[in-house]
Structures are given as structure tokens and as C-alpha cells.
Amino acid sequence: MRVKQFAKFITEEEFKNGSRRAQIIDLREKKDFNAGHILGARNLPYSTMKTFYSNIRKDLPVYLYDQGSNISIRTAIFLHKNGFDNISILKNGYRNWNGKTKKSATY
């Protein structure tokens, strides 16, 4: 299945510009999320996606990111199979993010 048929790879600038209207999902594990994440993101680790994907709204854009993009691609395929059609993936992942970040208080 070709992910580019149903998910867009977007640059950091496009990600920032559209993030106010989108659901930003950080797919990394909780400890990585707590160490630092994109401002406005919520943590939904890939390891729990099959259990909790119903918490994501289908009527709003979904912006996915992980450390690179491999997990985001797998998640996009899964979400598409479950009826999501407005999916974007941060092209170079969190490791290359230069925008605003936040650390969780528990870190």
C-alpha cells in the first residue's frame, strides 16, 4: 500500500501553519514525549494505537509525528484502513524539529 495515496508528507513550516486546525499526535513512547514534544501535541504511542485510535476525531485533520517517520507511516496506513482520510506526516520527524517544544512536568 502506497502511503502517499492517502497521507501527505509536510514540511515543518506546513506543519506549523496547519497545526491550529489539526490534531497533533506524538507517536513516541511516554518517556520520550515527556522529555520534549511539539507544543500542542498529545501523546498516543504507536504501541497503544489499536486500542485508543477511537479517541481521534475523523472530522479534523490528523498530524502525525515520531522520531523519524517510519512509525508515522505505519500509523497512517492503520488510520486510513479505519476510515481516516485527512492525514499528514511531519516529513523529517521530531529529531529535526526546530519549532516550539514543551517538556512535561513529570520529566
What digits encode the pLDDT tens for the residues 12-24?
Answer: 999 999 999 999 9
CB 79 within 8 A of CB 53: yes
**Could you read off the pLDDT of 37-94 as tens digits, one per residue?**
999 999 999 999 999 999 999 999 999 999 999 999 999 999 999 999 999 999 999 9
Nearest-angstrom CA–CA distance, 38 and 58: 21
Instruction: Delimit the domains of the chain by residue range.
Output: 3-98
Class for the domain spanning 3-98: alpha beta
Pairing of β 37-38 and β 101-102 = antiparallel
Any residues with CB less than 8 A from the CB of 103 and at least 6 apart, and which? 34, 35, 36, 37
Helical segments of 1-107, H only: 12-18, 30-35, 49-52, 70-81
The answer to whether the predicted template modeling score (pTM) of the entire model surpasses 0.85 is: yes
* Number of residues in the chain: 107
